[in-house]
């Protein structure tokens, strides 16, 4: 079958791009796969893409940034979505044309605003799959209201954690829509795994406040004091870089805590370490956690919503500590620094346990969801999730599937766009 991914900007850098590329490349083993990038701002993507996966942009900002329609506000893409200001009447039109002409059997949206486009504009013959890479609670109330109305036209909605899938089932009332967790996948490592002997703690990700690298640096200070031969290496770039460098200098850690800059791919850096660390206040999934575990590193992480607790088994393949507690984070790091055998054993277990996030099992789950959605579409039956099916059937019987006024307004906007291109 043909599977089409609808992606914000395949030419940028970010977790959603990485996970989309990973899944698309794994699916390309058995299917025809394309990635449709709404925006393009450079000649080639930052990440390598398997040549079996086709890539095509809809709006090339190098030439169309001043297009008259791109200077007008979007009418279909939801106003409350984080990326709204990057969308326009031009993106509305191009996305609508793309969906109207698609020959794909399945179209997969990869962010809320694009899921809304897919729900409202996806042709009837297409299985419509919306992906959520953030969490429901992370969306502002206004966006949640929009999604509750539009998502009723999806066939499947996937989240990256079971906890978030449960939240969508409980709070969003999406009768007939299958809501299921589909974790992100990480490609099989190509380098020998870490052996646990290097005296290095590794962390990676965007240098932004929610990642709490300041907390990690503070937590590492007592580690460096007790074991000055150990280093903390932080990979990434972002707005916090200057502040973090100043913090390192103020704590006297310039020889122990290093800002390494961005690295892609990260595998070569993970295997140089013996422990990985994550200090986030919020992790919808935890891609770097899985990457580190697949390379043989135990991970010390805050037990933040929602991903780390579903990836790490505390005391077995890593450690989970309270959010915002540098003392607990530092103590957990020290425990592994001091105990060579435990650290190596947990690293081996982490590598084994993280195999569930390898491409094969994730792709098999994705294919099962798609096949069941196609079968249900063929029989006219709603695609109810395995949990909460009784509740969803009750909602259907109460008429919650009826289009409400907001959906009608969105459809009217879509018709206006379509009339404009005639």
Q: What is the pLDDT of residue 389?
A: 34
Instruction: Please give the biggest Cα pair distance in the chain.
Output: 72
> Does the model's pTM come out above 0.95?
no
CATH architecture of the domain 2-185+361-420 equals 3-Layer(aba) Sandwich (3.40)
CA proximity to 205, closest of 195, 216, 196: 216
Under the banding of pLDDT at 50, 70 and 90, the label for residue 397 is very low
Same fold, 2-185+361-420 and 200-357: yes
**The predicted structure's pLDDT at residue 122:** 96
Query: pLDDT at position 380, please?
Result: 55
Would the pLDDT of 207 be above 70? yes
For 312-370, write each residue's pLDDT tens digit: 999 999 999 999 999 999 999 999 999 999 999 999 999 999 999 999 999 999 999 99
Confidence category of residue 271, pLDDT binned at 50, 70, 90: very high
SS (H, E, C) the chain: CEEEEEECCCCCCCHHHHHHHHHHHHHCCCCEEEEEEEEECCCCCCCCCCCCEEEEEEEEHHHHCCCHHHHCECCCCCCCCCCHHHCEHHHHHHHHHHHHHCCCCEEEECCHHHHHHHHHHCCCCCEEEEECCCCHHHCCHHHHHHHHHHHHHCCEEEECCHHHHHHHHHHHCCCCCEEEECCCCCCCCCCCCCCCCCCEEEEECCCCHHHCHHHHHHHHHHHHHHCCCCEEEEECCCCCHHHHHHHHHHCCCCCCEEEEECCCCCHHHHCCCCEEEECCCCECCCHHHHHHHHCCCCEEEECCCEHHHHHCCECCCEEEECCCCHHHHHHHHHHHHHCHHHHHHHHHHHHHHHHHHCHHHHHHHHHHHHHHHHHHHHHCCCCCCCCCHHHHHHHHHCCCCCCCHHHHHHHHHHHHHHHHCC
- Domain 200-357 CATH class label: alpha beta
List phi, psi (to 5°) of 45. -65, 155
Q: How many CB atoms within 10 Å of residue 153?
A: 21
Identify the residue whose tokens are 């660390």.
277
pLDDT of 420 > 70? The answer is no
Omega before 265 within 30 of 0, i.e. cis:
yes
Kindly report which listed range (22-31, 83-92, 357-366, 413-422) carries the lowest average pLDDT score.
Answer: 413-422
The C-alpha atoms of residue 372 and residue 117 are separated, in whole angstroms, by 23
Q: Could you tell me the CA-to-CA distances from 265 to 115, 234, 388 in Å, in that order?
A: 29, 14, 40
88 pLDDT more than 80: yes
More confident residue, 144 or 421: 144
Q: Is the pLDDT of residue 385 over 90?
A: no
pLDDT in tens, 18-34: 899 999 999 999 999 99
Span 196-206, mean pLDDT?
A: 96
Q: Is the pLDDT of residue 284 over 50?
A: yes
User: Average of pLDDT values for 187-213?
Assistant: 95
What is the DSSP pairing of strand 156-159 with strand 53-60? unpaired
Supply the pLDDT for residue 265. Answer: 84
Collect all residues with Cβ–Cβ distance below 8 Å to 406 and sequence separation of at least 6. Answer: 145, 146, 149
CA distance 346 to 408: 54
pLDDT for residue 401 is more than 70:
no
Average pLDDT of span 98-124: 97
Question: Does residue 36 contact residue 104 with C-beta atoms inside 8 Å?
Answer: no
Express each pLDDT in 293-310 by its tens digit: 999 999 999 999 999 999
Q: For 68-82, 153-167, 366-380, 385-399, which range has the lowest pLDDT when averaged over its residues?
A: 385-399
Q: How many CB atoms lie within 10 A of CB 286?
A: 28
The pLDDT of residue 177 is 95
Tell me: pLDDT of 392 over 90.
Answer: no
Residue 354 to residue 21: CA distance in whole angstroms: 19
Q: From the CB of residue 172, how many other CB atoms can be counted at a distance below 10 Å? A: 16
Domain boundaries in the chain?
2-185+361-420, 200-357
Q: Is the pLDDT of residue 408 over 60?
A: no
Give first-to-last CA distance, the chain, whole Å: 31
- Omega prior to 306 cis, within 30 of 0: yes
Question: Torsion angle of alpha carbons 328, 333, 338, 342, nearest 10°?
Answer: 100
pLDDT for res 409: 39
Whether residue 13 is predicted with pLDDT greater than 90 in this model: the reply is no
């Amino acid at each position: 079958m043909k599977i089409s991914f609808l992606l914000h900007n395949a030419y940028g850098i970010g977790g959603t791009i990485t996970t989309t590329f990973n899944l698309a490349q794994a699916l390309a083993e058995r299917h025809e796969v394309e990635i449709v990038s709404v925006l393009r701002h450079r000649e080639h993507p930052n990440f390598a893409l398997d040549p079996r996966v086709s890539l095509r942009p809809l709006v090339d900002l190098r030439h169309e940034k001043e297009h008259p329609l791109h200077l007008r506000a979007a009418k279909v893409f939801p106003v409350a979505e984080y990326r709204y200001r990057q969308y326009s009447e031009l993106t509305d039109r191009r996305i609508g044309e793309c969906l109207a002409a698609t020959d794909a059997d399945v179209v997969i949206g990869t962010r809320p605003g694009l899921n809304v486009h897919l729900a409202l504009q996806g042709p009837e013959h297409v299985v419509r799959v919306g992906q959520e890479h953030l969490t429901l609670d992370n969306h502002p109330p206004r966006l949640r209201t929009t999604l509750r109305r539009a998502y009723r036209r999806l066939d499947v909605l996937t989240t990256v954690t079971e906890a978030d899938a449960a939240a969508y089932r409980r709070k969003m009332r999406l009768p007939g829509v299958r809501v299921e967790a589909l974790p992100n996948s990480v490609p099989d490592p190509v380098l020998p795994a870490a052996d646990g002997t290097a005296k290095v703690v590794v962390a990676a990700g965007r240098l932004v406040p929610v990642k709490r690298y300041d907390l990690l640096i503070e937590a590492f200070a007592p580690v460096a004091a007790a074991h000055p031969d150990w280093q903390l290496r932080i990979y990434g770039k972002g707005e916090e870089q200057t502040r973090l460098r100043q913090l390192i200098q103020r704590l006297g850690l310039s020889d122990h805590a290093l800002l390494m800059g961005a690295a892609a791919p990260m595998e070569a850096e993970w295997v140089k370490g013996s422990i990985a660390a994550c200090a986030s206040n919020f992790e919808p999934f935890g891609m770097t956690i899985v990457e580190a575990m697949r390379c043989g590193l135990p991970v010390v992480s805050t037990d933040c919503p929602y991903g780390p607790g579903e990836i790490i088994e505390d005391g077995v393949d890593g450690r989970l500590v309270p959010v915002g507690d540098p003392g607990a984070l530092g103590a957990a790091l020290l425990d592994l620094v001091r105990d060579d055998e435990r650290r190596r054993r947990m690293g081996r277990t982490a590598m084994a346990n993280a195999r569930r996030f390898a491409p094969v099992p994730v792709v098999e789950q994705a294919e099962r969801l798609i096949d069941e959605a196609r079968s249900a579409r063929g029989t006219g039956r709603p695609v109810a999730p395995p949990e909460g099916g009784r509740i969803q059937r009750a909602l259907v019987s109460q008429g919650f599937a009826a289009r409400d006024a907001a959906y009608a307004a969105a459809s009217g906007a879509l018709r206006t766009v379509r009339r404009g291109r005639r």
